[in-house]
Amino acid sequence: MSEKLSLKEKLVSYNIKVNIINGVFAAIAFNLVNPYLAKFAERLGATDYQIAYLTSFPYFVSIFAYIPGAILIESLSDKKKTTGTIMFMHKLFYLVLALLPFLKGINQASIFVTIIGLMNLPGAIATMGYQSSIGDVFSIEDRGNAMGLRNKYSTIFALAVTFISGQLLTYIPKTNEGSIRLYQVFFFSAFIFSLGEVISFLKFRGMKKKRKTANYIDSLKSTIKNLPKEKNFLVFTMISAFFYIGWMGAQPLFNIYTIKVLGANEFWLSAISISSSLSSILSFTRWAKFADKKGNNLALGIALIGMAITPIFYVLSTNIFMLVLFNIVIGISVAGTNLILFNMLLEVTPSANRTIYIAIYNTITAIVSAVAPIMGVAIKDMSNIAIALIVIAILRFIASFMFISRGIARENN
């Protein structure tokens, strides 16, 4: 018995290390590109709505990816190999981004937004496959620690990459054209590092291959049939969808306020990201321990209160330095939200046909996320950016109390 326990502990320890390495490679690739997407789009001549489409279009594309992708992942016997292959297809888009500035005589901003959107077709499926795989690799008891450590170490590397890339983008290019050329180098480098993410994912152990039994369309039909019985999953999904209105609706407003109102360049964008990352590093494992002690619903509710204050911080920021300082608090809230929301999704998702349930959740939140950024910019155009941010803050406050109420209701039952 002790020998079996020892082998199990060794397997968990090994997979935690692999998960950390996977997260580090993912963080390096991500932070070479994503912190500067809106600024790169602006350098290509993007409008406010095109900046909003950078958030909404990827989610619009993912609406059509999740359920077919879930069927694909569940339909093949080797989930790990299937997910790894799709993950590699997603990373190839970094090379496409690197080649874009060479294409002359086209609206590069529109093509850039389109590529970012289409990139999420394999990206959404790969993310869902990873989420489902983590549910298979780690037990509920080990999951919080595994993801907390992954997020902690990946954020350290994300911080370093963001600092270095921000410095390079600020001091090396002397012209707009020079900045674009350096972005191309970053896109290509992101592709190289993302290959490490793919390879490390394939190193996970303990994911058993499935025997081909039922038809996979039958699995989808069975999941939909059983859906009304999964009350916890449905309530969690509906509250999450409401929260995503405020979460994704704010993203283009944050970018517009930071870049166009406060006039941030790449140096300040990296400074904002770094200040947020520093607080995230210190808080990831603390959020995991707090959630284990007090419950996920309460912990998430508190994290979302911090998320609700975030738009207010932007309104109060009269200069970019203030926003950098505010992002220290913002980073704590974002860390808790990302960690606990993911853990809660796995908690309420049945083990049978888990990938399909995750696909249903992701499809619903993607529909909201595709519309919300456009709504945020539309509210700004009808009033002003300060009012739009305050509206977003109110929506986030409501969502936080919905999660807290859900936790109280479950405890009483």
What DSSP string describes 253-274? Answer: HHHHIIIIIS---HHHHHHHHH
The pLDDT of residue 309 is 92
Parent domain of 107: 10-412
Residue 3 lies in a domain: no
**What is the rounded distance in angstroms from the CA atom of residue 283 to the CA atom of residue 151?**
10
Place of tokens 């790169």: 40
Residue 100 lies in a domain: yes
* Alpha carbon distances (Å) from 20 to 81, 123, 165, 269: 19, 20, 22, 26
Q: What is the CATH number of the domain that holds 308?
A: 1.20.1250.20
Q: Please check whether residue 322 is in contact with residue 316, taking contact to mean a CB–CB distance below 8 angstroms.
A: yes
Residue 1 lies in a domain: no
* Number of domains composing the chain: 1
**What is the rounded distance in angstroms from the CA atom of residue 330 to the CA atom of residue 341?**
16
The pLDDT of residue 1 is 45
CA dihedral 324, 330, 331, 336 (to 10 degrees): 180
Assigned token pair, 58? 């990827």
- Cα–Cα nearest to 238, from 379, 74, 348: 348
Give me the average pLDDT of each 10-residue run along the chain (413 residues).
Answer: 64 90 94 86 85 86 85 77 92 93 85 92 89 80 81 86 88 87 93 95 79 63 83 90 91 89 86 82 80 81 88 92 89 86 84 80 89 91 93 92 77 62
Residue 157 lies in a domain: yes
The pLDDT of residue 410 is 66
**What is the rounded distance in angstroms from the CA atom of residue 290 to the CA atom of residue 294?**
6
Assigned token pair, 135? 């549910």
Residue 396 lies in a domain: yes
Mean pLDDT of the chain: 86
Residue 2 lies in a domain: no
CA-based max dimension of the chain: 69
Residue 4 lies in a domain: no
Residue 312 lies in a domain: yes
175 class by beta-carbon count within 10 Å (0-12 exposed, 13-18 middle, 19+ buried): exposed
